[in-house]
């Protein structure tokens, strides 16, 4: 069934899938996509060295293979019944394996009839467009959702903020990030805000935000700590790189 997938393509698919799941910096996507051989090796070394690498990579490859199988089943389902639900399910699966252009087209195909103004679909388009480096589209669609309540704390708004930055609208991006900076919530949003401030070398604001987040982590209960463990691990990594005043 998987004879058409070469080892390199599977490895590249895994790296993109892993990068998406762990919300890594954009530079890794460029490296993996345009230099698949050396790019994948560098990415794997960076992410898995001294982190039980063999076990993690093996599990990751299994996830990619399973994803390919799932996509085949979803494609069959869409051919059997061309409806909105099947299109969205397939588009979501495409996003998870880095097939963003195909995903975006499917999402857009659903924007008609009673779904023409559906905010959830538009947020999916923002996220997929951002991952596809189509920042202009992400910004345009995000601008249409500025008054949508569900967009205020949606993770797709992070993609919107970064897209503003990458289209030369850093001041507007900072306002969006700052609006999402709500205490004791929005931890993924605020982690990205930290990365944004670090990129702009706004050390004072960055230190203040990091300290606020680390203080909040001390008040977390067990279940909440487990839920946001990966996010706060990244926050601590950022904190370790910040210059002391």
pLDDT tens-digit series, residues 84-95: 999 999 999 999
Using the structure block, give the residue that is written with the tokens 């799932």.
70
Number of domains in the chain: 2
186 shares its domain with 153: no
Give residue 98's region: left, alpha or beta (phi > 0; psi -120 to 50).
Answer: left
Q: What is the mean pLDDT of residues 164-187?
A: 96
Short-list 146, 149, 177, CA closest to 161: 177
pLDDT tens-digit series, residues 43-75: 777 766 545 554 555 555 555 556 677 888 889
- 69 or 105, which is more confident: 105
| Residue 162 placed within a domain | yes
DSSP symbol at 149:
G
Q: What is the pLDDT of residue 100?
A: 95
Q: Which domain holds residue 108?
A: 61-173
Q: What is the pLDDT of residue 49?
A: 59
Let me know: does 159 contact 140? Beta carbons within 8 Å.
no
Pick from 173, 198, 222: which residue ends a domain? 173
- The DSSP element (H or E) to which 8 belongs, if any, is helix 7-21
Q: What is the pTM of this model?
A: 0.73
Q: What is the pLDDT of residue 184?
A: 92
Pick from 143, 173, 203: which residue ends a domain? 173
164 shares its domain with 199: no
Q: What is the pLDDT of residue 60?
A: 59
144 shares its domain with 199: no
Confidence of residue 2 (pLDDT cuts 50, 70, 90): very low
141: CATH:
1.25.40.10
């Amino acid at each position: 069934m998987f004879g058409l997938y070469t080892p390199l393509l599977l490895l590249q698919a895994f790296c993109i899938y892993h990068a998406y799941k762990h919300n890594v910096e954009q530079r890794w996507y460029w490296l993996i996509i345009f230099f698949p051989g050396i790019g994948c090796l560098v990415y794997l070394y960076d992410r898995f060295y001294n982190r039980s690498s063999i076990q993690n990579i093996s599990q990751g490859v299994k996830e990619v293979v399973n994803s390919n199988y799932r996509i085949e089943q979803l494609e069959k389902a869409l051919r059997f019944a061309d409806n909105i639900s099947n299109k969205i399910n397939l588009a979501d699966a495409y996003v998870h394996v880095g097939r963003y252009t195909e995903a975006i087209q499917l999402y857009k195909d659903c924007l008609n009839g009673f779904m023409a103004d559906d905010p959830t679909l538009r947020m999916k388009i923002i996220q997929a467009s951002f991952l596809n480096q189509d920042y202009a589209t992400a910004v345009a669609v995000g601008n249409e959702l500025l008054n949508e309540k569900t967009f205020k704390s949606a993770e797709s708004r992070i993609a919107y903020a970064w897209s503003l930055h990458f289209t030369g609208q850093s001041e507007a991006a900072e306002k969006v990030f700052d609006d999402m900076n709500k205490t004791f919530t929005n931890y993924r949003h605020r982690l990205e805000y930290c990365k944004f401030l670090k990129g702009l070398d706004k050390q004072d604001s960055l230190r203040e935000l990091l300290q606020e987040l680390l203080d909040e982590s001390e008040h977390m209960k067990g279940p909440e700590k487990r839920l946001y463990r990966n996010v706060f691990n990244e926050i601590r990594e950022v904190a370790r790189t910040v210059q002391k005043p």
